[in-house]
Amino acid sequence: GNSVTQMEGPVTLSEEAFLTINCTYTATGYPSLFWYVQYPGEGLQLLLKATKADDKGSNKGFEATYRKETTSFHLEKGSVQVSDSAVYFCALSPHPNSHTGANSKLTFGKGITLSVRP
Amino acid sequence: NAGVMQNPRHLVRRRGQEARLRCSPMKGHSHVYWYRQLPEEGLKFMVYLQKENIIDESGMPKERFSAEFPKEGPSILRIQQVVRGDSAAYFCASSPPVGGGSTDTQYFGPGTRLTVL
Protein backbone atom coordinates (compact mmCIF):
# COMPACT_ATOMS: atom_id res chain seq x y z
CA GLY A 1 0.00 0.00 0.00
CA ASN A 2 0.87 3.66 -0.01
CA SER A 3 3.02 5.14 2.73
CA VAL A 4 4.81 8.36 3.62
CA THR A 5 7.88 8.59 5.81
CA GLN A 6 9.01 11.83 7.39
CA MET A 7 12.20 12.52 9.28
CA GLU A 8 12.01 12.31 13.05
CA GLY A 9 11.43 15.48 15.00
CA PRO A 10 11.09 17.86 16.63
CA VAL A 11 13.26 20.41 14.87
CA THR A 12 14.38 23.63 16.54
CA LEU A 13 16.02 26.38 14.50
CA SER A 14 17.06 29.95 14.97
CA GLU A 15 15.34 32.63 12.95
CA GLU A 16 16.76 33.02 9.42
CA ALA A 17 18.23 29.52 9.43
CA PHE A 18 17.86 27.19 6.45
CA LEU A 19 15.20 24.51 6.75
CA THR A 20 15.02 21.06 5.21
CA ILE A 21 12.36 18.52 6.18
CA ASN A 22 12.76 15.17 4.50
CA CYS A 23 9.87 13.19 3.07
CA THR A 24 9.94 9.96 1.10
CA TYR A 25 7.03 7.95 -0.18
CA THR A 26 5.99 4.54 -1.44
CA ALA A 27 3.17 4.38 -3.91
CA THR A 28 2.01 2.67 -7.05
CA GLY A 29 1.61 4.76 -10.15
CA TYR A 30 1.98 8.50 -10.12
CA PRO A 31 0.61 10.07 -6.96
CA SER A 32 0.18 13.75 -6.23
CA LEU A 33 2.33 15.00 -3.35
CA PHE A 34 1.49 17.62 -0.75
CA TRP A 35 2.81 19.50 2.22
CA TYR A 36 0.27 20.59 4.78
CA VAL A 37 0.94 22.85 7.79
CA GLN A 38 -0.92 22.80 11.10
CA TYR A 39 -0.62 25.77 13.41
CA PRO A 40 -1.36 25.23 17.12
CA GLY A 41 -5.02 24.51 17.76
CA GLU A 42 -5.98 24.75 14.10
CA GLY A 43 -6.76 22.48 11.19
CA LEU A 44 -4.47 21.66 8.30
CA GLN A 45 -3.71 24.18 5.61
CA LEU A 46 -2.37 23.24 2.22
CA LEU A 47 1.13 24.69 1.91
CA LEU A 48 2.13 23.44 -1.53
CA LYS A 49 1.70 20.55 -3.91
CA ALA A 50 3.16 18.86 -6.98
CA THR A 51 1.31 16.54 -9.31
CA LYS A 52 3.99 15.05 -11.52
CA ALA A 53 7.68 14.21 -11.59
CA ASP A 54 10.08 17.18 -11.52
CA ASP A 55 7.29 19.61 -10.62
CA LYS A 56 8.24 22.14 -7.99
CA GLY A 57 5.61 23.36 -5.57
CA SER A 58 6.22 26.67 -3.84
CA ASN A 59 4.41 28.99 -1.45
CA LYS A 60 5.39 31.52 1.23
CA GLY A 61 9.09 30.92 0.61
CA PHE A 62 8.75 27.13 0.97
CA GLU A 63 9.64 24.82 -1.90
CA ALA A 64 9.52 21.11 -2.61
CA THR A 65 10.40 19.20 -5.78
CA TYR A 66 8.75 15.93 -6.83
CA ARG A 67 11.64 13.52 -7.32
CA LYS A 68 10.43 10.27 -8.79
CA GLU A 69 13.87 8.69 -9.01
CA THR A 70 14.37 9.03 -5.26
CA THR A 71 10.64 8.95 -4.37
CA SER A 72 11.12 12.09 -2.32
CA PHE A 73 9.42 15.44 -1.75
CA HIS A 74 11.67 17.29 0.68
CA LEU A 75 10.48 20.65 2.00
CA GLU A 76 12.94 23.56 2.08
CA LYS A 77 12.98 27.18 3.08
CA GLY A 78 15.95 29.47 2.86
CA SER A 79 15.23 31.63 5.89
CA VAL A 80 12.70 30.58 8.51
CA GLN A 81 10.71 32.95 10.68
CA VAL A 82 9.23 32.55 14.14
CA SER A 83 5.79 32.52 12.50
CA ASP A 84 6.75 29.30 10.67
CA SER A 85 6.59 27.39 13.95
CA ALA A 86 4.03 24.66 13.34
CA VAL A 87 3.62 20.98 12.53
CA TYR A 88 4.37 20.01 8.93
CA PHE A 89 2.82 16.99 7.26
CA CYS A 90 3.85 15.37 4.01
CA ALA A 91 1.07 13.52 2.21
CA LEU A 92 0.24 11.75 -1.01
CA SER A 93 -2.89 11.13 -3.00
CA PRO A 94 -3.19 8.46 -5.65
CA HIS A 95 -3.80 9.13 -9.29
CA PRO A 96 -7.37 10.30 -9.96
CA ASN A 97 -9.97 7.61 -10.18
CA SER A 98 -10.83 6.90 -13.80
CA HIS A 99 -14.57 6.90 -13.02
CA THR A 100 -15.05 9.71 -10.55
CA GLY A 101 -12.09 11.80 -11.61
CA ALA A 102 -11.41 12.43 -7.95
CA ASN A 103 -8.69 11.16 -5.75
CA SER A 104 -9.39 9.06 -2.76
CA LYS A 105 -7.81 9.22 0.64
CA LEU A 106 -4.70 11.16 1.56
CA THR A 107 -1.94 9.17 3.20
CA PHE A 108 -0.01 11.28 5.70
CA GLY A 109 3.37 11.08 7.30
CA LYS A 110 3.53 11.38 11.08
CA GLY A 111 4.31 15.08 10.94
CA ILE A 112 7.21 17.01 12.32
CA THR A 113 7.11 19.89 14.78
CA LEU A 114 9.18 22.91 13.84
CA SER A 115 10.03 25.51 16.47
CA VAL A 116 11.82 28.68 15.40
CA ARG A 117 13.59 30.74 18.06
CA PRO A 118 13.87 34.52 17.74
CA ASN B 1 -16.32 31.71 -0.04
CA ALA B 2 -16.53 30.10 3.38
CA GLY B 3 -14.13 27.28 4.06
CA VAL B 4 -14.92 23.86 5.43
CA MET B 5 -16.91 24.22 8.62
CA GLN B 6 -17.00 21.77 11.48
CA ASN B 7 -18.97 21.80 14.69
CA PRO B 8 -18.70 21.55 17.50
CA ARG B 9 -15.04 22.55 17.84
CA HIS B 10 -14.80 20.81 21.18
CA LEU B 11 -16.95 17.95 22.41
CA VAL B 12 -16.83 16.22 25.78
CA ARG B 13 -18.61 12.92 26.28
CA ARG B 14 -18.70 10.32 29.01
CA ARG B 15 -18.01 6.70 28.21
CA GLY B 16 -21.02 5.05 26.64
CA GLN B 17 -22.54 8.23 25.22
CA GLU B 18 -22.89 9.07 21.54
CA ALA B 19 -20.82 11.67 19.73
CA ARG B 20 -22.07 13.43 16.59
CA LEU B 21 -19.62 15.48 14.56
CA ARG B 22 -20.77 17.69 11.73
CA CYS B 23 -19.01 18.90 8.63
CA SER B 24 -20.20 21.36 6.00
CA PRO B 25 -17.96 21.24 2.92
CA MET B 26 -16.84 24.27 0.96
CA LYS B 27 -19.48 25.67 -1.35
CA GLY B 28 -19.58 23.66 -4.55
CA HIS B 29 -17.66 20.70 -3.12
CA SER B 30 -19.34 17.33 -3.32
CA HIS B 31 -16.64 15.08 -1.87
CA VAL B 32 -16.12 14.78 1.88
CA TYR B 33 -13.38 12.95 3.77
CA TRP B 34 -13.02 12.26 7.49
CA TYR B 35 -9.66 11.79 9.21
CA ARG B 36 -8.70 11.08 12.81
CA GLN B 37 -5.63 12.49 14.50
CA LEU B 38 -4.51 10.78 17.66
CA PRO B 39 -2.14 12.63 20.00
CA GLU B 40 1.41 12.90 18.63
CA GLU B 41 0.43 11.14 15.41
CA GLY B 42 -0.42 12.04 11.86
CA LEU B 43 -3.85 11.95 10.34
CA LYS B 44 -5.41 8.62 9.49
CA PHE B 45 -8.06 8.30 6.83
CA MET B 46 -11.45 7.06 7.98
CA VAL B 47 -14.04 7.47 5.23
CA TYR B 48 -14.70 9.15 1.90
CA LEU B 49 -18.23 10.13 0.91
CA GLN B 50 -20.04 11.77 -1.95
CA LYS B 51 -23.61 12.95 -1.70
CA GLU B 52 -25.70 10.03 -0.38
CA ASN B 53 -22.90 7.52 -1.10
CA ILE B 54 -20.03 6.03 0.84
CA ILE B 55 -17.17 5.60 -1.59
CA ASP B 56 -14.42 4.25 0.65
CA GLU B 57 -14.79 3.33 4.32
CA SER B 58 -11.65 1.25 4.60
CA GLY B 59 -10.38 3.32 7.54
CA MET B 60 -13.54 3.16 9.63
CA PRO B 61 -13.61 0.91 12.67
CA LYS B 62 -16.09 -1.89 12.04
CA GLU B 63 -18.19 -1.17 15.10
CA ARG B 64 -19.68 1.95 16.69
CA PHE B 65 -18.59 4.32 13.89
CA SER B 66 -20.78 5.45 11.01
CA ALA B 67 -20.82 8.31 8.54
CA GLU B 68 -23.32 9.86 6.19
CA PHE B 69 -23.51 12.71 3.73
CA PRO B 70 -27.19 13.29 2.92
CA LYS B 71 -28.54 15.07 -0.10
CA GLU B 72 -29.31 18.08 2.08
CA GLY B 73 -27.31 19.17 5.08
CA PRO B 74 -23.89 18.47 6.50
CA SER B 75 -21.92 15.27 6.65
CA ILE B 76 -22.20 13.53 10.01
CA LEU B 77 -19.67 11.27 11.70
CA ARG B 78 -21.34 9.35 14.47
CA ILE B 79 -19.59 7.44 17.22
CA GLN B 80 -21.82 5.31 19.41
CA GLN B 81 -20.94 4.18 22.93
CA VAL B 82 -17.73 6.16 23.02
CA VAL B 83 -14.67 4.87 24.84
CA ARG B 84 -11.60 6.71 26.08
CA GLY B 85 -9.61 5.54 23.07
CA ASP B 86 -11.92 7.56 20.81
CA SER B 87 -10.48 10.78 22.23
CA ALA B 88 -8.84 12.49 19.28
CA ALA B 89 -9.15 15.34 16.83
CA TYR B 90 -11.47 14.55 13.94
CA PHE B 91 -10.92 16.48 10.76
CA CYS B 92 -13.17 16.81 7.78
CA ALA B 93 -11.92 17.76 4.34
CA SER B 94 -13.69 18.46 1.06
CA SER B 95 -12.78 18.58 -2.60
CA PRO B 96 -14.62 19.75 -5.71
CA PRO B 97 -16.47 17.52 -8.17
CA VAL B 98 -14.97 16.45 -11.47
CA GLY B 99 -14.53 19.51 -13.64
CA GLY B 100 -14.92 21.82 -10.67
CA GLY B 101 -11.25 22.46 -9.96
CA SER B 102 -8.31 20.61 -8.48
CA THR B 103 -9.95 17.35 -7.49
CA ASP B 104 -6.68 16.10 -6.03
CA THR B 105 -6.60 18.84 -3.40
CA GLN B 106 -8.49 18.49 -0.15
CA TYR B 107 -9.36 21.48 2.00
CA PHE B 108 -9.57 20.90 5.72
CA GLY B 109 -11.85 22.17 8.41
CA PRO B 110 -10.64 23.28 11.85
CA GLY B 111 -11.47 19.93 13.41
CA THR B 112 -13.53 18.68 16.32
CA ARG B 113 -11.60 17.74 19.41
CA LEU B 114 -13.40 14.91 21.16
CA THR B 115 -12.62 14.16 24.78
CA VAL B 116 -14.09 11.07 26.38
CA LEU B 117 -14.15 11.11 30.17
pLDDT digits (tens, 9 = 90+) for A14-49: 999 999 999 999 998 889 999 999 998 888 999 999
The per-residue pLDDT for B105 is 82
Cβ–Cβ contact A54 with B under 8 A? no
Distance CA A80, CA A19 (A): 7
Distance CA B47, CA B75 (A): 11
The per-residue pLDDT for B110 is 92
CB contact at 8 A, A89 and A111: yes
Q: Which residues, 6 or more positions from A77, have their beta carbon under 8 angstroms from its beta carbon? A: A18, A19, A61, A62, A63, A84
Residues of B with CB under 8 A from a CB of A: 4, 6, 31, 33, 35, 41-45, 48, 50, 55-56, 58-59, 91, 93, 95, 97-99, 103-111
Which residues from B are below 8 Å from A103, CB to CB?
A: 95, 103-104
pLDDT of residue B101 exceeding 80, the answer is no
Query: Amino acid identity, residue A48?
Result: L
**Mutation site for A-interface testing, chosen from B6, B34, B40, B43 by largest number of A Cβ within 10 Å:** B43
